[in-house]
Structure 1
Amino acid sequence: MLGCRGSRISHHFRECDLHFHLPTTFRFGYSGLQPQSFQLSFPCPLKPCWGGLTTIVANHNRVQSRSCCSATPPKPRGEIPLLFNSLSQQEDEREMISDGVSSVAGGIVALGKFDALHIGHRELAIQASRAGPPFLLSFVGMAKVLGWEPRPPIVATCDRKRVLSSWVSYCCNMVPEEFHVEFSSVRHLSPQQFVEKLSKELRVRGVVAGENYRFGYKAAGDALELIKLCEEYGMEAYIIKSVMDKNSANVTSSSNPKERGQVSSTRVREALAVGDMAYVSELLGRQHRLILKATNQERFAVEQHKVSAPKSCLLNLAPKEGLYEKCSLLLGQENVVQCRVVIDKKFVHVETDYDGGLSDIFGAPNSQFLPIEFGDSRT
């Protein structure tokens, strides 16, 4: 516990063996607080949450270990909800407001841009869940305000709850929830004003951020300032090391000067751009799911063993044009059919040996979604 003016800040650091190995020694110096440095050394990787997750808490120069929770191991693939509107099983642990939507008040919010929901984002959610009800806080409307070119999301909006539900066994048996803030409402806030908003308006109990996180107008604040300001406003601050990509040579990210080998949404986009689905799966911690939605103007073309959909039906980012083997066509919550996918300039074609009648499923007027999961093939 680092104490200044009677406030409390805990800095939790976590290391897991996720094939993206983190350094086993961390050193941090705090300027502006009590001048000090400390070193944390971990003799062995920490286990996932279902094995009795260990939390490392740094209090001045004292390190203690404690058990966080005991949750159930991950469910087999067939038991993970396939519905797009998967619901949290932890509503009773969250403060609810009158219309039934979870409030972020009293929760622990992870800060970042959660486009890909990759394993680095999952690590932030894990840390948040070890301190309280976990939320992912991100900004909406940034592209419009900053004049960026629109681009498709990596995860379809209708599929995000399913992905977050799949993290339940990592997050102390809680499903992280998303909380969105309009970017226009915080764009001109100084670092102090932003933290004040978290404390007084949103009433969060603590925050989690990566070591490279920046915030406030023109990204003026860094992780050390976040720690200092959270202390002043009586909130906990948890700063974690970046999850590094051991395969950083696979995709270069020279276009982004902030890339230093950590897992990022930029790396996921670049891996999709070259069609390396095995690499995409490693970065995401799951297979990439592509979702297409039929409209009154654009329908699916269905044959006995083939479904074709115009690219205008895409709800999220597709990999590069080419042939992809070892894919799965999702025909409902339980029925998963092996297939191969061909992507050309205008269409996404799904070919399968399924004899159950694709026309009955995807040719019906009320059939809107075509969900496909990509295996570990490379085009």
Structure 2
Amino acid sequence: MQVIRQLPEKPNKDCVLALGNFDGVHLGHRRLLESGLEIARKKGIELSVLLFEPHPLKLLFPEKMIGLLTTSEQRLKLLEELGVDKVYLISFTHQMADTTPEKFVSDILLQLGMRYVVVGFNYSFGSKGKGTPEDLQGFGEKYRFGVSVLQAQTMAGKVISSSIIRKALLQGDIREAQNMLGRYPCLFGKVVKGEQRGRTLGYPTANLEFHEDLLIPKRGSYAVWTELNGKMIMGMMNIGMKPTFHEEYMTTVEVHFFDFKSDLYNQELSLNIVERLRDERKFSGVSELLDQLQKDAIQAKRILEHEGIQNSLYKSSVFR
């Protein structure tokens, strides 16, 4: 998959263009992209995706916490696996934010060689998001490109959306998030030094540092796995403020891997969250904490082994 980080100076070759933020690349996004891919293959042209970086809300409302489901790298990997041919990853600027809906179409979309566009039912574009899918259909008639508007995809009576997945993760409902994503929710971060208390307790942990815009699920303990050197490594993750040892502390993410000993400092890990084990709590002391960690480890291993995550033969496709 080709990634292009600037708009072409002259119109590019013909393509079907999928529009959206695609945060999480959930099953609703997947259906839209599959629709675009089907149209592209019938026409014998490429499927391209237009993405903006940073997220437009980051530029327009810098004081707001966005809570992204995926990093830029994760999103690109997911799009590639789905068969996207080309991604335009373009810087979002104030000038672009002030572009009228029609200028957005004529000066940006058509420059990408768009001959057909696929969008979701709630897609908005142009200055203050005034452009609607209906407007896009009108511009399609004027500029002679096709438009396909995909209606809401639902699951168990709920619309599949990034906002509902965020809500599920903040409530600790990993299964609902997983069902809507079509894969395990994932945290991507860099291993940094922590307090190093875990190794003294017999549960050494990797402490992860995340991008400030990424969503961190509800505090508590989770069964997780990651892939290292082609092997699936099982573990348990804790998200919390270490109330047993601190009255006040920042939220941290720590993961203890079972049957694994290696220096992971400065490595970037992708943690796949399988199930929530319990809430965060304050223990009376180290002894009570160790008893609970032992129970957590037994429960996490049972869950992960049931999921089939115990050896290097496990198929780690992002969409299962």
CA contact (8 A) 1:305 1:351 kept: yes
Matches within 5 A, 1:235-274: 235-246=145-156, 248=158, 262-274=159-171
Q: Distance in 2 between matches of 1:160 and 1:190?
A: 27
Residue from 296, 312, 324 that aligns with 2:222: 324
Deviations 1:157-202 (A, max 9, x none): 232232223323xxxxx55635335242332232222221245433
Q: What letter matches 1:123 in structure 2?
A: R
1:147 is matched with 61
Q: Distance in 2 between matches of 1:293 and 1:161?
A: 18
2:30 is matched with 122
Deviations 1:38-85 (A, max 9, x none): xxxxxxxxxxxxxxxxxxxxxxxxxxxxxxxxxxxxxxxxxxxxxxxx
**Deviating runs (4+, > 6 A) in structure 1?**
none
Query: Going by fraction, where is helix more abundant, 1 or 2?
Result: 2
Residue from 254, 269, 273 that aligns with 1:370: 269
1:163 is matched with 78
What SS does the corresponding residue of 2:97 show, helix, strand or coil? coil
Q: Distance in 1 between matches of 2:130 and 2:231?
A: 50
Q: What letter matches 2:273 in structure 1?
A: F
Shift of the alpha carbon at 1:321?
0.7
Q: Distance in 2 between matches of 1:167 and 1:305?
A: 38
Deviations 1:278-310 (A, max 9, x none): 111111111111122146xx5694747532315
Residue from 216, 234, 256 that aligns with 2:126: 216
Q: Does 1:207 find its partner at 2:130? A: no
Identity of aligned residues (%): 22
Question: What is the Cα-based RMSD across aligned positions, in Å?
Answer: 3.0
Q: Which runs of 5+ in 1 are unaligned?
A: 1-87, 98-102, 169-173, 249-261
Q: Distance in 2 between matches of 1:180 and 1:352?
A: 38
1:43 is matched with none
Task: Report how many aligned residue pairs link the two structures.
Answer: 254
What SS does the corresponding residue of 2:124 show, helix, strand or coil? coil
Normalising to structure 1: TM-score of the pair? 0.59
What SS does the corresponding residue of 2:155 show, helix, strand or coil? coil
Shift of the alpha carbon at 1:371?
2.3
Q: What letter matches 2:235 in structure 1?
A: C
Q: Distance in 1 between matches of 2:191 and 2:257?
A: 20
CA contact (8 A) 2:189 2:268 kept: yes
CA contact (8 A) 2:57 2:66 kept: no
Q: Distance in 2 between matches of 1:374 and 1:118?
A: 15
CA contact (8 A) 1:195 1:230 kept: no
Normalising to structure 2: TM-score of the pair? 0.69
Deviations 1:107-157 (A, max 9, x none): 222112222221111122112212222222233342354233243421122
Q: Distance in 1 between matches of 2:21 and 2:88?
A: 11
Q: What letter matches 1:341 in structure 2?
A: M
Residue from 212, 216, 238 that aligns with 1:342: 238
Q: What letter matches 1:110 in structure 2?
A: A
Q: What letter matches 2:26 in structure 1?
A: H
CA contact (8 A) 1:111 1:136 kept: yes
Q: Residues 308 and 128 of structure 1: is their aligned pair in 2 closer, same or farther, counting only changes over 3 Å?
A: same
